Amino acid sequence: MSSTSNTNEQKTNSIAVVPADNDLPGHTIVLGETVPLKLASGQYLGPFTVAYQTYGTLNSEQSNAILVCHALTGDQFAAEKHPITGNAGWWDMVIGSDLPINTDDYFVICINVLGGCMGTAGPKDLNPKTKKQFGLDFPIITITDIVAVQKLVIDHLGIKKLFCVTGGSMGAMQVLEWASRYPENVFCAIPIAGSARHSAQNIAFHEVGRQAIMADPDWHGGNYYEYDVLPHRGLSVARMAAHITYMSDSALHRKFGRELQDRSDLSYGFDADFQIESYLRHQGSTFVERFDANSYLYTTRAMDYFDLAAEHNGVLSAAFGETSVRFCLISFTSDWLFPTSESRLIVHALNAVAASVSFVEIETDAGHDAFLLKEPEFFSILSGFLAGAAEQRGLRIARID
Amino acid sequence: MSSTSNTNEQKTNSIAVVPADNDLPGHTIVLGETVPLKLASGQYLGPFTVAYQTYGTLNSEQSNAILVCHALTGDQFAAEKHPITGNAGWWDMVIGSDLPINTDDYFVICINVLGGCMGTAGPKDLNPKTKKQFGLDFPIITITDIVAVQKLVIDHLGIKKLFCVTGGSMGAMQVLEWASRYPENVFCAIPIAGSARHSAQNIAFHEVGRQAIMADPDWHGGNYYEYDVLPHRGLSVARMAAHITYMSDSALHRKFGRELQDRSDLSYGFDADFQIESYLRHQGSTFVERFDANSYLYTTRAMDYFDLAAEHNGVLSAAFGETSVRFCLISFTSDWLFPTSESRLIVHALNAVAASVSFVEIETDAGHDAFLLKEPEFFSILSGFLAGAAEQRGLRIARID
């Protein structure tokens, strides 16, 4: 009786989210209708909508599902033409027939994160209580919340155990959260270019981005939707600052150096004389066309709050316990945002609980974004580890060698 | 005759700068009255004011003068209480009696850079032709121009040969420019945490800062002076982004980690939960009180444009020729903004012309800002090299051991 009345109370106090109109392709599901989702902040959420995409076919044993977790500004359109930008999906080179995550073998699920802006509940959706878009009234979300929502989607799809959870950067945080919180539901985990906690420098760069957005008068305290404007300038500056951190110094030097853009001499002015300036401005201006500024605030905050050890009295290994999950960690030598040392900390914690761990540091000058690029060694590690795990799992897959 | 008429023509076309009212302490001098200064952009400047400070006493042979070149946001108040902030001078621990740059021995000169905002001509000064503050009508300046102005000040002081030119970061660029352009006027040179060219990543971070300023509606295309507002928010974001680059990841971790600011738990909001956020916001908000946003645009641009090799067909060693200047280069292991590799390039170029070069990489986790901090090894290198050079120069100095 008391649990029913509790649930009723939760339902009454629950934050309902009405999705903003969109005609995005793919699947949507309404969650938290019967039982609202309790967020890490203590608030309740529901009902709310989640948008996801799938590639490949789920086998009859439901044993070939791979959950791909997207990064900060990614979305569920991992392996198809993006419905807004028209560009290839962010893991188009990784997910597909005969690609490292072979859709002839695996059923791939990619879910837009909670707080996002591509169909899953976020700050640009409507608050039925106020009949306005949420803005900063949307509850703060965490990686734990993001993964709890993913778990509900996986349950809905009837999948008891994911064959694999993988993702890079913020995606890797979700992978670690999955392995820590739902180890029985994960066969293997591949966190790429990730960390078990956001560092002071990571938080610092995010804070610069947030302050840039909030400094834009068009942000209107998060209520820009009402004013029919968007904080383009602030979001663009935020993206520019972040984008520098995704690339290595040497890659920038190799790609741009001090080359001038469309001119033979310096302008002696503040135009984009250098190619790197022009490139960054382009990154900023294209980003604002596809991403909601408030979602950027919420997802950066979710990353800042991530600290897996903190939830276990500061002992990272305690986050994994006696896990049966098979891990493969991948880092990149020139990644200074999530350097190899962060992956090593996770490997040490997993070793301490005698978990099954592979760890590969890949030599590349591509920086953090290496996980989004064509890196042959990375691709072969990914497909190789998956093939080995598939054999252990008893999956029949086509070998690509 | 023709040279006289040229000079007259230059004087007529020269950009005159009337200093904004200020009651700053220290020396000022008006330059470019008789012969305007030709800038790298081809424009002429004059008359214009330069502000500088001195510490110690010039000896009768004028042989004990050390020119200290300040960094991007530094100024001439290197070794005294800052007249605006009330804080200690930026090299207060380095310049003074019995300090590494011993004012009992040396006469120290520090000059506010051209384009600056502490008394030397810059964009906030008045254009007598329009009776308005310059804003973006101020000519673009380069490191070459900054040093050319310094040379005029040194000439004015009657100093034929500086005993030493030193400085960190943008200061190091000026040191290299001095050694390259006026080798007969420099006995020894100590470029610290510097580079012979601004890298793509360096330019990228500066561009983010400039875009943040220009995105602030209070910037008003650079004419904010007329509107009685200041682009505080943009300049603050620019400073925050830059400030991250001055510190190493490990120093941030050591100083701040994920410690919370004045709270025992996360706020689940966008307040400055973490100490690093609070620290960065403070850095941003205090900076805007002492620095002109347009000056920030001009001085960052001067750094971006710096490429010593480019002026010599891409051959850095050609910038130094058969130099008699004695060099001591200093870099810091954790400086990722001007990494040791950049200093090494300079050392190699100097070796190629058989110059006298010492090079020390100092082990520290303090990052780029190490040159502003109490680093015992750095201090002892500095005083030791100066003592050795003083002996070669025949200076009688007090030894501090």
Span B93-122, pLDDT tens digits: 999 999 999 999 999 999 999 999 999 999
ipTM of the complex, rounded to two decimals: 0.95
Catalytic residue among B335, B343, B369, B383: B335
Tell if the CB–CB gap between B281 and A207 is shorter than 8 Å: yes
What is the reported pLDDT for A7? 75
Sign of the C-alpha dihedral, residues B175, B176, B179, B182? Answer: negative
Shortest Cα distance from A303 to chain B (angstroms)? 12
Work out the mean pLDDT of chain A and round it to a whole number: 95
SS3 assignment, position A294: helix
Question: Closest Cα partner for B357 from B309, B396, B389, B397?
Answer: B389
E strand or H helix at A301: helix A293-305
Catalytic residue among A169, A248, A317, A383: A169
Rounded to 5 degrees, φ, ψ at A107 are: -105, 115
Span B31-81, pLDDT tens digits: 999 999 999 999 999 999 999 999 999 999 999 999 999 999 999 999 999
The percentage of chain B sitting over the pLDDT mark of 90, rounded to a whole number, equals: 93
Cis peptide before A19 (omega within 30 of 0): no
What is the reported pLDDT for A5? 62
Q: Could you tell me if B195 and B347 are in contact, meaning their C-beta atoms sit under 8 angstroms apart?
A: no
What is the reported pLDDT for A384? 96
Contact with chain A for residue B274, Cβ under 8 A = yes
Q: Which two tokens stand for residue A110?
A: 């990619």
Q: How many other CB atoms are found less than 10 A from the CB of residue A283?
A: 16
What is the reported pLDDT for A139? 98
What is the reported pLDDT for B12? 87
**pLDDT of B399 above 80:** no
Q: How confident is the model at residue B21 (pLDDT cuts 50, 70, 90)?
A: confident
- The torsion defined by the Cα of A381, A383, A388 and A390, in degrees rounded to 10, comes to 150
Q: How many other CB atoms are found less than 10 A from the CB of residue A346?
A: 28
Span B252-267, pLDDT tens digits: 999 999 999 988 899 9
Q: Are strands A48-55 and A132-133 parallel, antiparallel or unpaired?
A: unpaired
B335 is catalytic: yes
The gap from C-alpha A104 to its chain's centroid, in whole angstroms, comes to 24
How far apart (Å, rounded) are the C-alpha atoms in residues A284 and B214? 14
B380 is catalytic: no
For chain B, positions 46-105, list CB contacts with chain A under 8 A: none
Mutate to test the interface with B, among A140, A198, A211 (most CBs of B within 10 A): A211
What is the reported pLDDT for A401? 47
SS3 assignment, position A11: helix
Distances (CA, A) of B109 to B3, B177, B284, B299, B365: 33, 17, 29, 20, 30
- The torsion defined by the Cα of B155, B157, B162 and B164, in degrees rounded to 10, comes to -130
Catalytic residue among B14, B63, B169, B343: B169
What is the reported pLDDT for A66? 98
Shortest Cα distance from A233 to chain B (angstroms)? 6
Question: Closest Cα partner for A362 from A348, A380, A388?
Answer: A380
Span B312-367, pLDDT tens digits: 999 999 999 999 999 999 999 999 999 999 999 999 999 999 999 999 999 999 99
What is the reported pLDDT for A301? 98
| Spatial CB neighbours of A141, under 8 Å, sequence gap ≥ 6 | A39, A40, A41, A114, A115, A298, A301, A302
DSSP string for B98-111: TSSEETTT-EEEEE
What is the reported pLDDT for A6? 73
Interhelix angle A293-305/A170-181, rounded to 10 degrees, is 50
Q: Could you tell me if A124 and A57 are in contact, meaning their C-beta atoms sit under 8 angstroms apart?
A: no
What is the reported pLDDT for A399? 56
Contact with chain B for residue A126, Cβ under 8 A = no
Span A5-28, pLDDT tens digits: 677 888 889 999 999 887 899 999
What is the reported pLDDT for A4? 58
Span B276-315, pLDDT tens digits: 999 999 999 999 999 999 999 999 999 999 999 999 999 9
Kindly give the parts of chain A with pLDDT less than 50: 1-2, 401
Q: How confident is the model at residue B2 (pLDDT cuts 50, 70, 90)?
A: very low
| Option in A212, A217, A258 nearest B200 (CB) | A258
- Paired strand residues for B111: B52
- Per-residue pLDDT averaged across B165-177, rounded? 98
SS3 assignment, position A33: coil
Interhelix angle B170-181/B293-305, rounded to 10 degrees, is 50
How far apart (Å, rounded) are the C-alpha atoms in residues B373 and B251? 13
How far apart (Å, rounded) are the C-alpha atoms in residues B33 and B45? 9
Q: How many other CB atoms are found less than 10 A from the CB of residue B80?
A: 17
